[in-house]
């Protein structure tokens, strides 16, 4: 179909739809969903970071991937690629793109063509090729891709024609397709990149986003709100809500207050679960997440460069108390970085023992019979894997005091915290990992591989060549039982080396009004408002809502004010 003809038809349809809506006199609240989010995104390109605040605000709202996960069994399904083919040796993967997929029309960009192979090649080569003209834009860090060593897996990406792309792999890799379905493998616009190059504004590609996703960015006020409008020419059916607002509210109490006052429709990481369930017009929901919270050590700094010290701390912490006080029974004790729900979990790994006497003995063997002082870094925000890091830190502080270890708790704002971790300024830290796909490699490689020490997700800086060799073998075999054996060996190494102490596998909670319909949460990855709709119920307008346009205008271009 001719692109200009398509747009003309689309605009006529939008004018008719606008008229229908005006006749129906739909209120702003009926056309919008307000989500009380816990923090601001670091960027509008999820290729560049792994933080949940960025992933939630961008991946599924603004962008699409070649393939995606669908259903309870997390089956790989078509997305921008309508189909794909893998050769018998696993070294060539060919994707066949959909036609007539439209990029966002905004105040700052008007596409002149549909999505094609050039956009796919641009999106991946930007992250993989250090010589690419956009690689160093915004810092040149692509942590997920770099952690999994994708540049070593992909030899080249070949354009067969405008709608066919072939990935040539250096070797068969069992997690390749899984990685392409993650929140990070988004497709950007090569045409938009060309425009920005001419304008000498390359960094805008990550701050003024253009994607093919169900929503497009209208406005971003740092620390206050993100406003999205529906992408009317979405290749699937358009989203059912016209506007999506992220009301950025870092305070747990603040989000609860706004939810109860009906100033937000959905709230992230809610507190006071019992209070929420007492309201008939609210619903508390949860998914069992593929995640792990942990206490990590910087193995490059004394005394945690000594494995005996790390083992001693492990024995001194009472995980049962942590789960009761911090998670209040809404999590499972972690015995490894893998949750028990993973097919690769090894049941034979011995359970963590709480043994302060053995902990003291190990400290003596390590030369610290009188104990020592340590800094423990925490973030003062609620995270999917840890609802209250400060409380957890205080309990750990109490446990370690019994073996003569003095813990100094240091709290930093999230962005500062993560940046300083990457630079190795810490001694120890409380953090966690949320998997982006169900393949177990998504825990083993990004969290603890040698390559991940360079990309900012292995903040322990632990690098073990034997461990790396094992997880590499696990990716190269197609035998599922053999993969399980390799991962069991990797878990055994972690049990002995203790670069980090797994604490809990938590559920991710969300609260919403009963008038908000549709699945938002998933066991892994970011949230998704595409399938969400809203019933016609009374809703109190907020200052944010009142700042939105009073009338719908489907031909209105979007932009960042």
Cα-flanking dihedrals φ and ψ of residue 196, to 5°? Answer: -65, -35
Residue of 63, 64, 72 lying closest to 95 (CA atoms): 64
Write down the pLDDT at residue 524: 83
* CB atoms inside a 10 Å sphere around CB 391: 14
For the cut 70, the answer to whether the pLDDT of residue 19 exceeds it is no
Beta strands in 176-256 (DSSP E): 215-221, 225-230, 243-248
Same domain, yes or no: 468 and 533: no
- Between 95 and 420, where is the model more confident? 95
Integer Cα distance of 534 and 194 in angstroms: 39
Write down the pLDDT at residue 343: 83
Would residue 113 count as lying in a domain?
Answer: yes
Q: What percent of the chain has pLDDT over 90?
A: 68
Would residue 481 count as lying in a domain?
Answer: yes
Same domain, yes or no: 392 and 541: no
Show which of 211, 226, 245 is a domain's final residue.
211
What would the mean pLDDT of 525-542 be, rounded to a whole number?
Answer: 75
Would residue 546 count as lying in a domain?
Answer: yes
- Residue 437 pLDDT level (bands cut at 50, 70, 90): confident
Integer Cα distance of 189 and 242 in angstroms: 23
Q: How many CA atoms lie within 13 A of 39 on its CB side?
A: 19
Provide, for the chain, the percentages of residues in helix, strand and coil under a 3-state DSSP scheme, each rounded to the nearest 5.
Answer: 35, 20, 45
Same domain, yes or no: 79 and 180: yes
Domain count, the chain: 3
For the cut 60, the answer to whether the pLDDT of residue 20 exceeds it is no
Same domain, yes or no: 244 and 197: no
Integer Cα distance of 277 and 511 in angstroms: 9
- Residue 538 pLDDT level (bands cut at 50, 70, 90): very low
CA angle 8, 9, 13 (to 5 degrees): 120
Same domain, yes or no: 120 and 175: yes
If you ran DSSP here, which 8-state letter would residue 108 be given?
S
CATH number, domain at 218?
3.40.190.10
- Tens of pLDDT, residue by residue over 115-156, are 999 999 999 999 999 999 999 999 999 988 988 889 999 999
Which range is most confident: 3-7, 287-291, 540-544?
287-291
Same domain, yes or no: 250 and 262: yes
Would residue 485 count as lying in a domain?
Answer: yes
Helix axes 480-497, 465-476, angle to 10 degrees: 160
Show which of 179, 211, 243 is a domain's final residue.
211
Show which of 492, 507, 522 is a domain's final residue.
507
Write down the pLDDT at residue 549: 42
For the cut 50, the answer to whether the pLDDT of residue 37 exceeds it is yes
What would the mean pLDDT of 82-101 be, rounded to a whole number?
Answer: 95
CATH number, domain at 434?
3.10.105.10
Tokens of 529: 């408002």
For the cut 60, the answer to whether the pLDDT of residue 417 exceeds it is yes
The region of weakest confidence among 298-302, 312-316, 408-412 is 408-412
Contact 416, 505 (CB under 8 A): no
For the cut 70, the answer to whether the pLDDT of residue 14 exceeds it is no
Would residue 358 count as lying in a domain?
Answer: yes
Would residue 343 count as lying in a domain?
Answer: yes
Longest alpha-carbon distance in the chain: 80
Integer Cα distance of 358 and 363 in angstroms: 9
How far, in Å, are 74, 270, 389, 435, 506 from residue 522 at the CA level?
10, 16, 23, 11, 13
Would residue 286 count as lying in a domain?
Answer: no
Same domain, yes or no: 474 and 326: yes
Would residue 242 count as lying in a domain?
Answer: yes
pLDDT averaged over the chain? 88
What would the mean pLDDT of 35-47 be, rounded to a whole number?
Answer: 95
CATH number, domain at 98?
3.90.76.10
- Residue 329 pLDDT level (bands cut at 50, 70, 90): confident
Same domain, yes or no: 95 and 181: yes
Instruction: Give helix then strand counts, H and E, for the chain.
Output: 21, 20
- Residue 51 pLDDT level (bands cut at 50, 70, 90): confident
Residue of 257, 247, 255 lying closest to 33 (CA atoms): 247
Write down the pLDDT at residue 2: 62
Same domain, yes or no: 416 and 436: yes
- Between 273 and 539, where is the model more confident? 273
Helix (H) / strand (E) element for 109: namely none
Same domain, yes or no: 417 and 554: no
Same domain, yes or no: 311 and 423: yes
- Tens of pLDDT, residue by residue over 277-307, are 999 999 999 887 789 999 999 999 999 999 9
Sign for the CA dihedral angle at 537, 540, 542, 548 comes to positive
- What range defines the domain where residue 418 resides? 291-507
Same domain, yes or no: 335 and 474: yes
Q: Work out whether strand 243-248 and strand 32-37 pair parallel, antiparallel, or are unpaired.
A: parallel
């Amino acid at each position: 179909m001719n692109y200009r003809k398509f747009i003309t038809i689309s605009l006529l349809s939008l004018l008719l739809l606008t008229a229908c809506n005006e006749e129906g006199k739909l209120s702003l609240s009926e056309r919008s969903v307000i989500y009380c989010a816990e923090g601001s995104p670091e960027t509008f390109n999820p290729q560049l970071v792994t933080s949940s605040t960025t992933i939630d605000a961008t991946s599924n709202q603004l962008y699409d991937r070649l393939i995606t996960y669908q259903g309870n069994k997390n089956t790989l399904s078509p997305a921008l690629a309508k189909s794909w083919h893998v050769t018998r040796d696993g070294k060539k993967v060919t994707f066949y793109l959909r036609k007539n997929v439209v990029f966002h029309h905004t105040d700052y960009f008007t596409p002149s063509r549909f999505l094609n192979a050039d956009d796919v090649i641009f999106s991946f080569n930007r992250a993989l090729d250090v010589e690419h003209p956009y690689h160093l834009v915004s810092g040149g860090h692509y942590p997920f891709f770099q952690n999994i060593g994708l540049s070593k897996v992909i030899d080249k990406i070949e354009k067969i024609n405008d709608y066919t792309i072939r990935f040539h792999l250096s070797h068969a890799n069992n997690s390749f397709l899984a990685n392409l379905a993650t929140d990070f493998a988004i497709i950007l616009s090569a045409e938009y990149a060309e425009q920005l190059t001419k304008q000498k504004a390359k960094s805008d590609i990550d701050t003024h986003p253009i994607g093919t996703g169900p929503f497009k960015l209208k406005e971003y006020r740092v620390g206050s709100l993100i406003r999205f409008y529906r992408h009317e020419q979405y290749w699937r059916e358009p989203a059912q809500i016209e506007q999506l607002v992220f009301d950025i509210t870092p305070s747990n109490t603040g989000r609860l207050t706004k939810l109860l006052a009906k100033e937000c429709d959905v709230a992230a990481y809610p507190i006071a679960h019992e209070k929420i369930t007492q309201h008939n017009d609210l619903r508390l929901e949860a998914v069992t997440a593929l995640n792990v919270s942990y206490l990590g050590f910087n193995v490059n700094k004394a005394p945690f460069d000594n494995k005996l010290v790390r083992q001693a701390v492990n024995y001194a912490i009472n995980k049962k108390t942590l789960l009761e006080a911090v998670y209040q029974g809404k999590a499972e004790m972690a015995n490894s970085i893998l949750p028990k729900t993973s097919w690769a979990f090894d049941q034979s790994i011995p359970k963590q023992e709480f043994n302060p006497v053995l902990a003291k003995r190990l400290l003596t063997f390590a030369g610290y019979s009188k104990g020592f002082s340590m800094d423990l870094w925490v973030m003062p925000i609620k995270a999917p894997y840890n609802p209250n890091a400060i409380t957890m830190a205080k309990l750990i502080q109490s446990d370690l005091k019994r073996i003569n270890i003095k813990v100094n708790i240091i709290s930093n704002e999230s962005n500062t915290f993560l940046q300083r971790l990457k630079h190795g300024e810490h001694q120890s830290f409380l953090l966690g990992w949320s998997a982006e796909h169900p393949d177990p490699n998504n825990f083993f490689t990004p969290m603890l591989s040698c390559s991940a020490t360079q990309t900012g997700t292995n903040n322990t800086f632990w690098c073990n060549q034997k461990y790396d060799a094992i997880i590499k073998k696990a990716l190269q075999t197609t035998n599922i039982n053999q993969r399980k054996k390799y991962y069991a060996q990797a878990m055994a190494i972690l049990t002995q080396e203790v670069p980090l102490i797994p604490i809990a596998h938590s559920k991710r909670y969300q609260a919403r009004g009963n008038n908000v319909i549709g699945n938002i949460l998933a066991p892994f990855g970011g949230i998704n408002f595409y399938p969400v709709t809203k019933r016609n119920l009374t809703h109190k307008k907020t200052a944010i809502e009142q700042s939105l346009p009073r009338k719908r205008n489907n031909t209105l271009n979007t932009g960042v004010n």
